[in-house]
Amino acid sequence: MTNVLADLFKRSDASEIDKITYLISGTLAPSYEGLVLNIAERTMLKIISRAYGVDLVKVRAFYKEKGDLGDVCFVMAKHKASNLSVSNVYERLLRIAQEEGFGSQERKIEQMSKILADLDPLSAKYVARIPVGRLRLGFSDMTILDALSYMLKGDKSIRKEIEASYNVNVDIGKIVKAVKEKGLRGISRIEPVPGTPIRPSLCERLPSAEKILEKVGKQVAVEPKFDGFRCGLHIWMEGGKKVVRIFSRNLENTTAMFPDLALAAKNIKVKSAILDGEAIAYDVKTDKFLPFQETAQRKRKYNIEEAVKKFPLKLFVFDILYKDGKSLLGLPFKKRREILVNILKNTKQGTVLLTKQNIVTDADSVRNLVSLYLKEGLEGAVIKKIDAFYKAGGRGYHWVKYKKTTEKGVADTIDCLVMGIYRGRGKRAGFGVGAFLVGVQEGNKYKTTSKIGTGLSDEQWKELDARVKRLEVGNKPKEYEVEKNLEPDIWVKPSLVVEILADEISRSPIHTAGLALRFPRLIKFRDEKNPDQTTSVGELTNLYGMQKTLVQ
């Protein structure tokens, strides 16, 4: 697949390679821009009926048989050559996405049906899948980065350099275009831009406070670890007004969900900035933090005003990556912290707050602070290297997390992908789900690590059933590697991420990850995470090794 993409990029013209990249990703723009065609499956059936002059009843029946809109178009389209260019199709799809107001739905149907009618069967097969988000080509942005390296060097030797630029500017079309036009020189000067999300820095794990100090440094910064929503806070001036955008851990634009945070951010005394922080709900009467399950209720598209009142948020800012036109990524953390302190001390306190920090030099001080944070209802602490640069999109020992489980058994919870479900029996029959299969990632594949049938409350079983009903697919997704005797009753498309706590990780000849979770239980649903943000097989292997480390 990587070679096919590399060949495509070689043969693509620089003037439309960004458009090609978006279309093969099933989009018209980076996801954070929120530009979608907004055409439902039922509407697509009407479009196909109109495009090919086939009765709608017949189209529905054929779709029920085939199960794929693309396959329906491939059979129904007239076998003719198409002289449409990528740019032409892209621009026409873009106009459809921008349609709004009275009569917009009918105009979308008319325009989309004309596009399908003008395309050859093979092109129609894939274009028809884009509006409903089912292109199913089976690759990610990471595969595209690999392909760019293959395009230039014939191997993955410069993948890390390309990815470093992507981590700072996640517009994959822009990255591909820059590499196509000027090679590595095209991305050498890519810097943060307010309004374009940066992939957040991530924490490593170590088995004890002593090991953390040994690896991170003799003098470290200890900060509380919040169990909330990661927020990339972007501020800039536009037309004489201050604009604020908030991006989630998975680079989604969540500004509309958090109007209280956006309003408060306008008080920060900067012309432009990119800040990194975590938002967590709190009880107004007691000022205590609320559990993640309650914080999670703020992530919604409707009844937002009601949610703001019921679950007010505090945004704790712990880093600054950009200020007034200059990137700060290459500055040591200690210097970035000084800049952040100077900014926020001049800002009216309330909703946006500076994360507290202690500089310590011994393991007991680390443990004491962690104990304090746990009593406050937090997850633990993050221990930071004081002279480290900001590692966008990277996990490393510049940041190490220390949680309640760090020195007991498995050092961390595991983020898993729900791959399938097994039907319930007895009392579980009423829930619809009796057990579920989860896995972790390795490259573009997901490998099983646990079949979970216990450790959930009745409410969690019901919620799981409601969620997977929207995600059921007829056949096993090609990204999944599952032993035959573990195949579930129903397959679930790669979408739902859950946080799992286990007592132990053991070797497994049954699970394709080679490791199994013993006594697993569901902690929470991780709606803010994409499937590619699950724990990797490599990380799981490291956790397996850590549990065998004897803490002195």
Question: What SS3 class is residue 252?
Answer: coil
How do 472-473 and 480-481 pair as beta strands? unpaired
Q: What is the DSSP annotation of 65-125?
A: HH--HHHHHHHHS-S------HHHHHHHHHHHHT--STTHHHHHHHHHHHHHHHS-HHHHH
Cβ-contact 490, 421 below 8 angstroms: yes
d(CA 541, CA 552): 22
Check residue 325 and give left, alpha or beta (phi > 0: left; psi -120 to 50: alpha). left
Question: Which tokens go with 276?
Answer: 């990194």
What pairs with residue 282 in β-bridges?
289
Token reading at 318: 């712990």
DSSP class per residue in 161-219: HHHHHHHH---HHHHHHHHHHHGGGGTTT----TTSPPPPPEEEE-SSHHHHHHHH-SS
Q: Which residue from 305, 304, 307, 287 is spatially nearest to 295, judged by alpha carbons?
A: 307
For residue 80, give every residue at least 6 positions away whose Cβ sits within 8 Å of its Cβ, in sequence order, or none: 120
d(CA 10, CA 3): 10
Active site residues: 225
Q: How are the residues of the chain apportioned to helix, strand and coil, as percentages rounded to the nearest 5?
A: 40, 20, 40
The burial of 36, by beta-carbon neighbours within 10 Å (0-12 exposed, 13-18 middle, 19 or more buried), is given as: middle
Question: Which tokens in the block code for residue 288?
Answer: 């205590």
- Burial of 548: CB neighbours in 10 Å, binned 0-12, 13-18, 19+: exposed
C-alpha angle 361-364-370 in degrees, rounded to nearest 5:
100
Cβ neighbours of 286 (radius 10 Å) = 8
Q: What are 65-69's contacts with CB under 8 Å, separation 24+?
A: 67/474, 68/129, 68/134, 69/41, 69/44, 69/45, 69/128, 69/129, 69/132, 69/134
Q: Which of 375, 366, 371 is nearest to 400 (CA)?
A: 366
Determine contact, residues 541/512, Cβ cutoff 8 Å: no
